[in-house]
Amino acid sequence: MLTPNLTVSEQGTLCFGGADMTALAKKHGTPLYVMDENMIRENCRGYQRVIAEEYGGNGLICYASKALSCKELYRIVHSEQLGADVISGGELYTALQAGMPAEKIVFHGNSKSDEELEMAMKAGVGRIVADHLPELERLNRIAGSLGKTPAVMLRIKPGIDAHTHDFVKTGCIDSKFGFALETGEALEAVKAAAAYPNLRLVGLHCHIGSQIFDTEPFAEAGRVMVRFMAQIRTELGLTLPELNLGGGPGIRYTEDDDPPAFGSIVRAILAAVKAVCAELDFPNPFVLFEPGRSIVGGAGLTLYTVMAKKTIPNVRTYVLVDGGMCDNPRYALYHSRYEALIANKAAAERSERVTIGGKCCESGDLIGEDMPLQPAEPGDTLAVLATGAYNYSMASNYNRNPRAEIVMVRDGEARTVVRRESYEDIARNDI
Ligand code: LLP
Protein backbone atom coordinates (compact mmCIF):
# COMPACT_ATOMS: atom_id res chain seq x y z
CA MET A 1 0.00 0.00 0.00
CA LEU A 2 1.04 3.57 -0.68
CA THR A 3 1.26 4.64 2.97
CA PRO A 4 1.49 2.47 6.09
CA ASN A 5 -1.84 3.73 7.47
CA LEU A 6 -3.72 1.97 4.63
CA THR A 7 -4.86 -1.57 5.43
CA VAL A 8 -7.45 -4.06 4.22
CA SER A 9 -9.99 -5.47 6.70
CA GLU A 10 -10.94 -9.15 6.97
CA GLN A 11 -14.04 -8.31 4.93
CA GLY A 12 -11.80 -6.99 2.15
CA THR A 13 -12.65 -3.32 2.71
CA LEU A 14 -10.18 -0.46 2.77
CA CYS A 15 -9.19 1.00 6.14
CA PHE A 16 -7.34 4.27 6.62
CA GLY A 17 -6.06 5.44 9.98
CA GLY A 18 -7.92 2.49 11.51
CA ALA A 19 -11.34 3.51 10.10
CA ASP A 20 -13.33 1.54 7.52
CA MET A 21 -13.74 3.69 4.42
CA THR A 22 -16.91 2.05 3.13
CA ALA A 23 -18.66 2.66 6.46
CA LEU A 24 -17.45 6.26 6.50
CA ALA A 25 -18.69 6.89 2.96
CA LYS A 26 -22.08 5.48 3.91
CA LYS A 27 -22.35 7.58 7.05
CA HIS A 28 -21.02 10.92 5.74
CA GLY A 29 -21.83 10.72 2.03
CA THR A 30 -19.48 11.35 -0.87
CA PRO A 31 -17.36 13.01 -2.12
CA LEU A 32 -15.62 12.92 1.22
CA TYR A 33 -12.13 13.97 2.20
CA VAL A 34 -10.68 11.79 4.96
CA MET A 35 -7.62 12.88 6.95
CA ASP A 36 -5.56 10.75 9.36
CA GLU A 37 -4.75 12.84 12.42
CA ASN A 38 -2.09 10.49 13.76
CA MET A 39 -0.15 10.67 10.53
CA ILE A 40 -0.33 14.48 10.46
CA ARG A 41 0.98 14.57 14.02
CA GLU A 42 3.75 12.07 13.27
CA ASN A 43 4.87 14.20 10.35
CA CYS A 44 4.92 17.33 12.52
CA ARG A 45 6.98 15.47 15.12
CA GLY A 46 9.32 14.16 12.45
CA TYR A 47 10.16 17.71 11.39
CA GLN A 48 10.53 18.89 15.00
CA ARG A 49 12.82 15.97 15.80
CA VAL A 50 15.27 16.81 13.03
CA ILE A 51 15.51 20.46 14.08
CA ALA A 52 16.07 19.36 17.67
CA GLU A 53 18.67 16.71 16.83
CA GLU A 54 20.60 18.49 14.09
CA TYR A 55 20.23 22.12 15.06
CA GLY A 56 19.66 22.33 18.80
CA GLY A 57 16.02 23.25 18.22
CA ASN A 58 17.09 26.66 16.91
CA GLY A 59 14.27 26.93 14.40
CA LEU A 60 10.56 26.95 13.72
CA ILE A 61 8.52 24.71 11.45
CA CYS A 62 5.67 26.69 9.94
CA TYR A 63 3.07 24.45 8.34
CA ALA A 64 2.37 25.81 4.83
CA SER A 65 -1.37 26.01 5.20
CA LYS A 66 -2.01 26.59 1.49
CA ALA A 67 -1.78 22.77 1.34
CA LEU A 68 -4.91 22.47 3.50
CA SER A 69 -6.35 25.33 5.47
CA CYS A 70 -9.12 24.76 7.99
CA LYS A 71 -9.36 25.54 11.68
CA GLU A 72 -8.75 22.01 12.90
CA LEU A 73 -5.51 21.75 10.94
CA TYR A 74 -4.15 24.91 12.59
CA ARG A 75 -5.21 23.52 15.99
CA ILE A 76 -3.45 20.23 15.36
CA VAL A 77 -0.18 21.72 14.11
CA HIS A 78 -0.24 24.33 16.88
CA SER A 79 -0.62 21.60 19.49
CA GLU A 80 2.50 20.01 17.94
CA GLN A 81 4.36 23.34 18.48
CA LEU A 82 4.41 24.28 14.80
CA GLY A 83 3.70 27.74 13.46
CA ALA A 84 1.93 28.46 10.18
CA ASP A 85 2.73 29.97 6.81
CA VAL A 86 -0.23 31.90 5.43
CA ILE A 87 -0.56 33.53 2.04
CA SER A 88 -3.77 35.53 2.22
CA GLY A 89 -6.05 37.38 4.56
CA GLY A 90 -8.34 34.34 4.45
CA GLU A 91 -5.68 31.92 5.65
CA LEU A 92 -4.52 34.43 8.25
CA TYR A 93 -8.08 34.90 9.50
CA THR A 94 -8.65 31.14 9.76
CA ALA A 95 -5.35 30.59 11.57
CA LEU A 96 -6.07 33.33 14.10
CA GLN A 97 -9.64 32.10 14.63
CA ALA A 98 -8.24 28.66 15.37
CA GLY A 99 -5.94 30.07 18.06
CA MET A 100 -2.64 29.94 16.19
CA PRO A 101 -0.44 32.49 18.02
CA ALA A 102 0.21 35.44 15.71
CA GLU A 103 3.93 35.46 16.49
CA LYS A 104 4.23 31.97 15.01
CA ILE A 105 2.69 33.04 11.70
CA VAL A 106 4.70 33.90 8.59
CA PHE A 107 2.74 36.00 6.10
CA HIS A 108 3.58 35.47 2.43
CA GLY A 109 2.37 36.69 -0.91
CA ASN A 110 3.45 38.52 -4.03
CA SER A 111 0.29 40.64 -4.21
CA LYS A 112 -0.76 41.42 -0.66
CA SER A 113 -3.28 44.24 -0.39
CA ASP A 114 -2.95 47.15 2.03
CA GLU A 115 -5.87 45.65 3.95
CA GLU A 116 -4.05 42.34 4.29
CA LEU A 117 -0.83 44.00 5.41
CA GLU A 118 -2.75 46.06 7.94
CA MET A 119 -4.55 42.98 9.21
CA ALA A 120 -1.24 41.15 9.62
CA MET A 121 0.36 44.03 11.50
CA LYS A 122 -2.62 44.60 13.77
CA ALA A 123 -2.66 40.90 14.63
CA GLY A 124 1.10 41.04 15.31
CA VAL A 125 2.19 38.28 12.93
CA GLY A 126 5.71 37.09 13.63
CA ARG A 127 7.16 37.72 10.18
CA ILE A 128 5.96 39.33 6.98
CA VAL A 129 7.81 38.20 3.87
CA ALA A 130 8.19 41.10 1.44
CA ASP A 131 8.21 40.32 -2.24
CA HIS A 132 9.14 43.53 -4.10
CA LEU A 133 10.31 47.10 -3.52
CA PRO A 134 6.96 48.89 -3.72
CA GLU A 135 5.64 46.47 -1.13
CA LEU A 136 8.47 47.44 1.23
CA GLU A 137 7.45 51.04 0.78
CA ARG A 138 3.80 50.20 1.52
CA LEU A 139 4.80 48.10 4.51
CA ASN A 140 6.80 50.97 5.94
CA ARG A 141 3.98 53.44 5.39
CA ILE A 142 1.29 51.20 6.94
CA ALA A 143 3.56 50.28 9.86
CA GLY A 144 4.16 53.99 10.48
CA SER A 145 0.47 54.79 10.46
CA LEU A 146 -0.22 51.96 12.94
CA GLY A 147 2.79 52.75 15.13
CA LYS A 148 4.22 49.25 14.52
CA THR A 149 7.66 47.93 13.60
CA PRO A 150 6.95 44.54 12.03
CA ALA A 151 9.64 41.92 11.52
CA VAL A 152 10.23 41.55 7.79
CA MET A 153 11.96 38.92 5.70
CA LEU A 154 12.80 39.28 2.03
CA ARG A 155 11.84 36.65 -0.50
CA ILE A 156 14.94 35.84 -2.53
CA LYS A 157 15.14 33.94 -5.81
CA PRO A 158 18.32 31.98 -5.22
CA GLY A 159 18.54 30.97 -8.88
CA ILE A 160 18.04 27.27 -8.32
CA ASP A 161 15.64 25.43 -10.55
CA ALA A 162 14.92 22.22 -8.70
CA HIS A 163 12.60 20.93 -11.40
CA THR A 164 15.23 20.34 -14.04
CA HIS A 165 17.21 17.19 -13.60
CA ASP A 166 20.54 18.99 -13.32
CA PHE A 167 19.40 21.99 -11.39
CA VAL A 168 20.79 25.18 -12.83
CA LYS A 169 21.70 28.32 -10.99
CA THR A 170 20.46 30.74 -13.58
CA GLY A 171 17.12 29.15 -14.23
CA CYS A 172 14.84 31.03 -11.95
CA ILE A 173 14.98 34.72 -12.73
CA ASP A 174 11.70 34.28 -14.55
CA SER A 175 9.56 33.83 -11.46
CA LYS A 176 6.88 36.16 -10.21
CA PHE A 177 8.15 35.75 -6.65
CA GLY A 178 10.81 37.77 -4.93
CA PHE A 179 14.14 39.45 -5.58
CA ALA A 180 16.76 37.92 -7.88
CA LEU A 181 20.13 37.25 -6.36
CA GLU A 182 22.36 37.21 -9.39
CA THR A 183 21.22 40.55 -10.84
CA GLY A 184 22.02 42.45 -7.65
CA GLU A 185 18.32 43.12 -7.10
CA ALA A 186 18.34 41.19 -3.81
CA LEU A 187 21.19 43.22 -2.35
CA GLU A 188 19.43 46.45 -3.30
CA ALA A 189 16.30 45.17 -1.57
CA VAL A 190 18.26 44.43 1.60
CA LYS A 191 19.65 47.99 1.58
CA ALA A 192 16.17 49.43 1.05
CA ALA A 193 14.54 47.30 3.73
CA ALA A 194 17.25 48.06 6.27
CA ALA A 195 16.82 51.80 5.69
CA TYR A 196 13.07 51.95 6.34
CA PRO A 197 12.53 53.30 9.86
CA ASN A 198 9.38 51.30 10.61
CA LEU A 199 10.60 47.90 9.47
CA ARG A 200 12.82 45.40 11.28
CA LEU A 201 14.63 43.36 8.67
CA VAL A 202 15.22 40.01 10.40
CA GLY A 203 16.20 37.70 7.58
CA LEU A 204 15.81 36.13 4.19
CA HIS A 205 13.46 33.60 2.66
CA CYS A 206 13.61 31.30 -0.33
CA HIS A 207 11.44 28.50 -1.67
CA ILE A 208 12.78 26.52 -4.60
CA GLY A 209 9.65 24.61 -5.60
CA SER A 210 7.27 21.86 -4.61
CA GLN A 211 7.07 18.05 -4.92
CA ILE A 212 10.88 17.87 -5.20
CA PHE A 213 12.55 14.46 -5.04
CA ASP A 214 16.21 15.55 -5.05
CA THR A 215 18.02 16.49 -1.86
CA GLU A 216 20.86 18.40 -3.44
CA PRO A 217 18.93 21.46 -4.74
CA PHE A 218 17.68 22.06 -1.19
CA ALA A 219 21.18 21.83 0.26
CA GLU A 220 22.48 24.12 -2.47
CA ALA A 221 19.76 26.68 -1.68
CA GLY A 222 20.93 26.62 1.94
CA ARG A 223 24.54 27.25 0.85
CA VAL A 224 23.61 30.02 -1.56
CA MET A 225 21.50 31.80 1.03
CA VAL A 226 24.14 31.66 3.78
CA ARG A 227 26.78 32.93 1.37
CA PHE A 228 24.49 35.82 0.54
CA MET A 229 23.95 36.54 4.25
CA ALA A 230 27.72 36.65 4.69
CA GLN A 231 28.02 38.99 1.69
CA ILE A 232 25.43 41.28 3.31
CA ARG A 233 27.51 41.31 6.47
CA THR A 234 30.65 42.22 4.51
CA GLU A 235 29.08 44.85 2.28
CA LEU A 236 26.52 46.42 4.60
CA GLY A 237 27.80 45.52 8.06
CA LEU A 238 24.49 43.81 8.76
CA THR A 239 24.25 40.32 10.29
CA LEU A 240 20.77 38.98 9.61
CA PRO A 241 19.70 36.47 12.27
CA GLU A 242 17.07 34.38 10.42
CA LEU A 243 16.87 32.17 7.36
CA ASN A 244 13.62 30.69 6.04
CA LEU A 245 14.14 27.88 3.55
CA GLY A 246 10.53 27.34 2.48
CA GLY A 247 8.91 23.98 1.75
CA GLY A 248 8.98 21.54 -1.10
CA PRO A 249 9.81 17.91 -0.10
CA GLY A 250 7.98 15.54 -2.42
CA ILE A 251 5.60 12.76 -1.40
CA ARG A 252 4.53 9.40 -2.80
CA TYR A 253 1.53 9.74 -5.08
CA THR A 254 2.00 6.49 -6.95
CA GLU A 255 3.70 3.22 -6.19
CA ASP A 256 6.48 4.18 -8.61
CA ASP A 257 7.37 7.29 -6.61
CA ASP A 258 10.34 6.93 -4.30
CA PRO A 259 11.04 10.32 -2.69
CA PRO A 260 13.66 10.74 0.04
CA ALA A 261 12.18 10.98 3.54
CA PHE A 262 11.65 14.64 4.43
CA GLY A 263 13.87 14.11 7.46
CA SER A 264 16.86 13.33 5.30
CA ILE A 265 16.20 16.44 3.19
CA VAL A 266 16.07 18.68 6.25
CA ARG A 267 19.19 17.03 7.66
CA ALA A 268 21.04 17.71 4.42
CA ILE A 269 19.93 21.34 4.37
CA LEU A 270 20.98 21.91 7.96
CA ALA A 271 24.34 20.24 7.38
CA ALA A 272 24.90 22.50 4.37
CA VAL A 273 23.89 25.62 6.30
CA LYS A 274 26.16 24.75 9.22
CA ALA A 275 29.09 23.94 6.94
CA VAL A 276 28.96 27.27 5.11
CA CYS A 277 28.43 29.16 8.38
CA ALA A 278 31.54 27.50 9.81
CA GLU A 279 33.54 28.17 6.64
CA LEU A 280 32.60 31.87 6.59
CA ASP A 281 32.57 32.32 10.36
CA PHE A 282 28.91 33.35 10.18
CA PRO A 283 26.64 32.65 13.17
CA ASN A 284 24.18 29.78 12.59
CA PRO A 285 20.91 31.54 11.77
CA PHE A 286 17.58 30.73 13.35
CA VAL A 287 16.00 28.58 10.63
CA LEU A 288 12.43 28.28 9.46
CA PHE A 289 10.92 25.64 7.18
CA GLU A 290 7.50 25.71 5.57
CA PRO A 291 6.44 22.18 4.66
CA GLY A 292 2.90 21.71 3.41
CA ARG A 293 2.45 18.67 1.20
CA SER A 294 4.81 16.45 3.21
CA ILE A 295 2.73 17.06 6.35
CA VAL A 296 -0.78 16.50 5.01
CA GLY A 297 -0.53 15.00 1.51
CA GLY A 298 -0.20 11.32 2.36
CA ALA A 299 -2.43 11.82 5.39
CA GLY A 300 -5.53 12.26 3.23
CA LEU A 301 -7.66 10.40 0.73
CA THR A 302 -10.89 11.15 -1.10
CA LEU A 303 -13.92 8.86 -1.31
CA TYR A 304 -16.34 8.97 -4.22
CA THR A 305 -19.33 6.94 -5.28
CA VAL A 306 -19.08 5.26 -8.66
CA MET A 307 -22.07 6.47 -10.68
CA ALA A 308 -21.49 4.72 -13.98
CA LYS A 309 -19.00 2.83 -16.09
CA LYS A 310 -18.75 3.52 -19.81
CA THR A 311 -16.69 1.39 -22.10
CA ILE A 312 -15.94 2.87 -25.49
CA PRO A 313 -14.80 -0.11 -27.57
CA ASN A 314 -11.14 0.11 -28.63
CA VAL A 315 -10.81 3.49 -26.94
CA ARG A 316 -11.09 3.38 -23.16
CA THR A 317 -13.25 2.69 -20.14
CA TYR A 318 -14.49 5.57 -18.07
CA VAL A 319 -15.41 5.13 -14.43
CA LEU A 320 -17.57 8.14 -13.58
CA VAL A 321 -17.75 9.45 -10.03
CA ASP A 322 -19.80 11.99 -8.09
CA GLY A 323 -16.93 14.51 -7.72
CA GLY A 324 -14.01 15.50 -9.90
CA MET A 325 -12.10 18.66 -10.75
CA CYS A 326 -14.23 20.66 -8.31
CA ASP A 327 -12.74 18.71 -5.38
CA ASN A 328 -9.43 17.71 -7.02
CA PRO A 329 -8.29 19.94 -9.88
CA ARG A 330 -4.74 18.59 -9.94
CA TYR A 331 -5.07 16.29 -12.93
CA ALA A 332 -6.81 19.02 -14.91
CA LEU A 333 -4.09 21.50 -13.93
CA TYR A 334 -0.88 19.45 -13.85
CA HIS A 335 -1.72 15.97 -15.09
CA SER A 336 -0.79 14.79 -11.61
CA ARG A 337 -0.90 11.05 -11.05
CA TYR A 338 -2.78 9.22 -8.31
CA GLU A 339 -3.46 5.68 -7.14
CA ALA A 340 -7.09 4.67 -6.77
CA LEU A 341 -8.89 1.58 -5.54
CA ILE A 342 -12.40 0.39 -4.90
CA ALA A 343 -12.76 0.60 -1.13
CA ASN A 344 -15.36 -2.18 -0.95
CA LYS A 345 -13.19 -4.50 -3.09
CA ALA A 346 -9.80 -3.54 -1.70
CA ALA A 347 -8.55 -7.12 -1.46
CA ALA A 348 -9.28 -7.83 -5.13
CA GLU A 349 -6.73 -7.41 -7.87
CA ARG A 350 -6.72 -4.11 -9.78
CA SER A 351 -7.21 -5.97 -13.02
CA GLU A 352 -8.60 -3.18 -15.22
CA ARG A 353 -7.14 0.05 -16.54
CA VAL A 354 -9.56 2.93 -16.57
CA THR A 355 -9.99 6.66 -16.84
CA ILE A 356 -11.69 8.17 -13.82
CA GLY A 357 -14.00 10.97 -14.90
CA GLY A 358 -15.70 13.58 -12.75
CA LYS A 359 -19.19 15.04 -12.86
CA CYS A 360 -18.31 18.47 -14.20
CA CYS A 361 -19.39 19.63 -17.62
CA GLU A 362 -15.91 19.51 -19.08
CA SER A 363 -14.01 16.79 -20.97
CA GLY A 364 -10.82 17.53 -19.06
CA ASP A 365 -12.55 16.83 -15.76
CA LEU A 366 -10.61 13.69 -14.94
CA ILE A 367 -8.98 12.32 -11.80
CA GLY A 368 -6.59 10.30 -13.91
CA GLU A 369 -6.10 8.18 -17.00
CA ASP A 370 -4.80 4.69 -17.48
CA MET A 371 -5.23 3.88 -13.81
CA PRO A 372 -5.22 0.30 -12.52
CA LEU A 373 -8.49 -0.42 -10.71
CA GLN A 374 -10.61 -3.30 -9.47
CA PRO A 375 -13.64 -3.94 -11.73
CA ALA A 376 -15.95 -1.07 -10.81
CA GLU A 377 -19.72 -1.06 -10.67
CA PRO A 378 -22.23 1.68 -9.90
CA GLY A 379 -22.58 2.11 -6.15
CA ASP A 380 -18.98 1.15 -5.39
CA THR A 381 -16.90 3.44 -3.18
CA LEU A 382 -13.80 4.69 -4.97
CA ALA A 383 -10.83 5.86 -2.92
CA VAL A 384 -8.25 8.19 -4.47
CA LEU A 385 -5.10 8.19 -2.33
CA ALA A 386 -2.72 10.92 -1.15
CA THR A 387 -5.16 13.77 -1.66
CA GLY A 388 -4.49 15.52 1.68
CA ALA A 389 -2.61 18.43 0.12
CA TYR A 390 -3.80 20.91 -2.51
CA ASN A 391 -7.18 19.25 -2.99
CA TYR A 392 -9.67 20.78 -0.55
CA SER A 393 -7.57 23.96 -0.57
CA MET A 394 -7.89 24.19 -4.37
CA ALA A 395 -11.49 23.03 -4.56
CA SER A 396 -14.09 25.16 -6.29
CA ASN A 397 -17.83 25.43 -6.71
CA TYR A 398 -17.59 24.87 -10.47
CA ASN A 399 -21.00 23.86 -11.79
CA ARG A 400 -22.23 24.95 -8.35
CA ASN A 401 -21.11 21.75 -6.78
CA PRO A 402 -21.00 22.12 -2.99
CA ARG A 403 -17.53 21.66 -1.53
CA ALA A 404 -17.08 18.28 0.14
CA GLU A 405 -16.91 17.51 3.85
CA ILE A 406 -13.64 16.76 5.62
CA VAL A 407 -13.59 14.02 8.20
CA MET A 408 -10.65 13.54 10.57
CA VAL A 409 -9.97 10.02 11.75
CA ARG A 410 -7.97 9.21 14.83
CA ASP A 411 -7.41 5.67 16.05
CA GLY A 412 -10.40 4.50 14.06
CA GLU A 413 -12.78 7.22 15.32
CA ALA A 414 -14.04 9.81 12.85
CA ARG A 415 -15.27 13.37 13.34
CA THR A 416 -16.33 16.06 10.90
CA VAL A 417 -13.91 19.00 10.84
CA VAL A 418 -15.33 20.84 7.81
CA ARG A 419 -19.03 20.46 7.07
CA ARG A 420 -20.27 19.72 3.58
CA GLU A 421 -21.47 22.88 1.86
CA SER A 422 -25.19 23.20 1.26
CA TYR A 423 -26.94 24.74 -1.73
CA GLU A 424 -27.81 27.66 0.58
CA ASP A 425 -24.09 28.14 1.29
CA ILE A 426 -23.44 28.32 -2.42
CA ALA A 427 -26.15 30.89 -3.13
CA ARG A 428 -25.57 32.88 0.08
CA ASN A 429 -23.97 35.92 -1.51
CA ASP A 430 -26.13 36.04 -4.60
CA ILE A 431 -28.32 39.14 -4.70
N1 LLP B 1 6.45 28.06 1.22
C2 LLP B 1 6.17 28.77 0.11
C3 LLP B 1 6.62 30.14 0.03
C4 LLP B 1 5.45 28.19 -0.94
O5 LLP B 1 5.20 28.91 -2.03
C6 LLP B 1 5.00 26.85 -0.83
C7 LLP B 1 4.22 26.23 -1.89
C8 LLP B 1 5.30 26.15 0.36
C9 LLP B 1 6.04 26.77 1.35
C10 LLP B 1 4.85 24.72 0.58
O11 LLP B 1 5.39 23.84 -0.32
P12 LLP B 1 5.19 22.26 -0.12
O13 LLP B 1 5.97 21.84 1.11
O14 LLP B 1 3.75 22.00 0.06
O15 LLP B 1 5.73 21.68 -1.35
N16 LLP B 1 -0.79 23.60 -6.05
C17 LLP B 1 0.44 22.89 -6.31
C18 LLP B 1 1.51 23.22 -5.28
C19 LLP B 1 1.81 24.70 -5.20
C20 LLP B 1 2.82 24.99 -4.13
C21 LLP B 1 2.98 26.45 -3.96
N22 LLP B 1 3.84 26.87 -2.90
C23 LLP B 1 0.15 21.40 -6.35
O24 LLP B 1 -1.01 21.02 -6.20
O25 LLP B 1 1.04 20.60 -6.55
343-379: per-residue pLDDT in tens? Answer: 999 999 999 999 999 999 999 999 999 999 999 999 9
Whether 1 is in a domain gets the answer no
Active site residues: 361
Ligand 1 center from residue 410 Cα (angstroms): 26
Average pLDDT over residues 303-327: 98
- Integer-rounded Cα radius of gyration of the chain: 23
Cα–Cα dist 22/344, whole Å: 6
Mean pLDDT of the chain: 96
pLDDT tens profile 113-167: 999 999 999 999 999 999 999 999 999 999 999 999 999 999 999 988 787 655 5
Q: Is the pLDDT of residue 39 over 90?
A: yes
pLDDT computed for residue 163 by the predictor: 74
> Is the same domain home to 216 and 269?
yes
User: Do residues 331 and 182 share a domain?
Assistant: no
Q: Is the pLDDT of residue 249 over 70?
A: yes
Q: How far apart are CA 9 and CA 15, in angstroms?
A: 7
Cβ proximity of 233 and 239 under 8 Å? yes
173-187, 358-372, 391-405: the lowest-pLDDT one: 173-187
- The confidence band for 388, taking pLDDT boundaries of 50, 70 and 90, is very high
Closest CA to 334 of 366, 289, 305, 306: 366
Cβ proximity of 290 and 218 under 8 Å:
no
Q: What is the CATH number of the domain that holds 255?
A: 3.20.20.10
Which of the listed residues 156, 210, 211, 367 should we mutate to test ligand 1's pocket, taking the one with most ligand atoms within 8 A of CB?
A: 210
**Is residue 255 over pLDDT 80?**
yes
**What pLDDT sits at residue 169?**
57
Say how many Å lie between the CA of residue 210 and the centre of ligand 1: 5
Q: Is residue 271 part of a domain?
A: yes
| Residues 227, 195 share a domain | yes
> Same structural domain for residues 139 and 194?
yes
pLDDT confidence bin for 207, thresholds 50/70/90: very high
Of the three residues 258, 292, 326, the one that is the final residue of a domain is 292
Residues 162 and 26 placed together within one structural domain of the fold: no
Residue 197 burial (10 A CB sphere; 0-12, 13-18, 19+): exposed
23 CB-near residues (< 8 Å, 6+ apart): 13
Residue with CA nearest ligand 1 atom 9: 247
Mean pLDDT within 46-69: 98
Domain hosting residue 75, numbered range: 37-292
Residue 348 belongs to some domain of the structure = yes
The C-alpha atoms of residue 207 and residue 245 are separated, in whole angstroms, by 6
Are 182 and 211 in a shared domain? yes
User: Does pLDDT of 171 surpass 60?
Assistant: no
Atom nearest to 209 CA in ligand 1: 15
The arithmetic mean of pLDDT across residues 46-52, rounded, is: 98
Domain's final residue, options 292, 320, 347: 292
Region 318-324 average pLDDT: 98
Atom of ligand 1 nearest to the CA of 394: 16
User: d(Cα 90, Cα 119) in Å, to the nearest integer?
Assistant: 11
Question: Does one domain contain both 78 and 221?
Answer: yes
Asked whether residue 309 is domain-assigned, the answer is yes
> Do residues 284 and 405 both lie within one domain?
no
Predicted confidence (pLDDT) at residue 110 exceeds the cutoff of 80: yes
**Ligand 1, CB cutoff 6 Å, lining residues:** 64, 66-67, 85, 108, 207, 210-211, 246-248, 290-294, 330, 390
pLDDT at 284: 98
CA-based diameter of the chain, in Å? 72
**CATH number reported for the structural domain that contains residue 309 in this entry:** 2.40.37.10
Between these two residues, 34 and 175, which has the higher pLDDT value? 34
67 in the same domain as 21: no
- pLDDT value at position 268? 98
Best of 293, 328, 333, 396 for a ligand 1 pocket test (most atoms within 8 Å of beta carbon) = 293
> How far apart are the C-alpha atoms of 206 and 155, rounded to whole Å?
6
Residue 223 lies in a domain: yes
| Ligand 1: centre distance to CA 355 (Å) | 27
How far is ligand 1, taken at its centre, from the CA of residue 353, in Å? 31
Q: In this predicted structure, what is the pLDDT of residue 340? A: 98
In this structure, the answer to whether residues 330 and 285 fall within a common structural domain is no
Percent of the chain with pLDDT over 90: 94
Residue 352: other Cβ atoms inside 10 A: 15
Residue of the CA atom closest to atom 21 of ligand 1: 210
The residue whose CA is least distant from atom 22 of ligand 1 is 210
3-state secondary structure the chain: CCCCCEEECCCCCEEECCEEHHHHHHHHCCCEEEEEHHHHHHHHHHHHHHHHHHHCCCEEEEEECCCCCCHHHHHHHHHCCCEEEECCHHHHHHHHHCCCCHHHEEECCCCCCHHHHHHHHHHCCCEEEECCHHHHHHHHHHHHHHCCCCEEEEEEECCCCCCCCCCCCCCCCCCCCCEECCCCHHHHHHHHHHHCCCCEEEEEECCCCCCECCCHHHHHHHHHHHHHHHHHHHHHCCCCCEEECCCCECCCCCCCCCCCCHHHHHHHHHHHHHHHHHHHCCCCCEEEECCCHHHHCCCEEEEEEEEEEEEECCCEEEEEECCCCCCCCHHHHHCCCCCEEEHHHCCCCCCEEEEEECCCCCCCCEEEEEEEECCCCCCCEEEEECCCCCCHHHCCCHHHCCCCEEEEEECCEEEEEECCCCHHHHHCCCC
Q: Which amino acid is at 431?
A: I
Domain final position from 292, 310, 345: 292
Check residue 23 and give its pLDDT.
98
Average of pLDDT values for 100-124?
97
CB contact set of 22 (below 8 Å; sequence gap of 6+): 13, 14, 343, 344, 381
What is the atom index within ligand 1 of the atom nearest the CA of 250?
15
Residue 1 has a pLDDT of: 85
Is residue 213 assigned to a domain?
yes
| Residue range 167-184: mean pLDDT, rounded | 77
Q: Do residues 272 and 407 both lie within one domain?
A: no
pTM above 0.85, yes or no: yes
The residue-averaged pLDDT of 51-56 equals: 98
Count: domains in the chain: 2
Whether residue 42 lies inside any domain: the answer is yes
Say how many Å lie between the CA of residue 194 and the centre of ligand 1.
28
- Can you give the pLDDT at residue 167? 59
| Ligand 1 centroid to residue 22 C-alpha, Å | 31
Q: In the predicted model, is pLDDT for residue 65 greater than 80?
A: yes
Mutate to test the pocket of ligand 1, among 163, 245, 290, 336 (most ligand atoms within 8 A of CB): 290
Q: Are residues 101 and 233 in the same domain?
A: yes
